[in-house]
Amino acid sequence: MNKYELMFIVKTTMEADAASSLANNYKKVISSLNGNVTNYKDMGQKKLAYEIEHQVNGFYYVFNFEATTDTIKELDRRLRLDENILRHMIIRLDEE
Q: For the beta carbon of residue 20, count every other beta carbon within 10 angstroms.
A: 16
Q: What are the helix (H) ranges across the chain?
A: 16-32, 69-81
Confidence check: pLDDT of 19 > 70: yes
Q: pTM for the whole thing?
A: 0.90
Q: Give the C-alpha separation, 8 to 20, whole Å.
A: 12
**Are the beta carbons of 89 and 6 closer than 8 angstroms?**
yes
What does the pLDDT read at residue 92? 95
DSSP reduced 3-state for 87? strand
The domain made up of 2-92 has a fold known as: Alpha-Beta Plaits (3.30.70)
Using pLDDT thresholds of 50, 70 and 90, give the confidence band for residue 94: confident
- Per residue in 29-87, pLDDT (tens digit) is 999 999 999 999 999 999 999 999 999 999 999 999 999 999 999 999 999 999 999 99
What does the pLDDT read at residue 96? 62
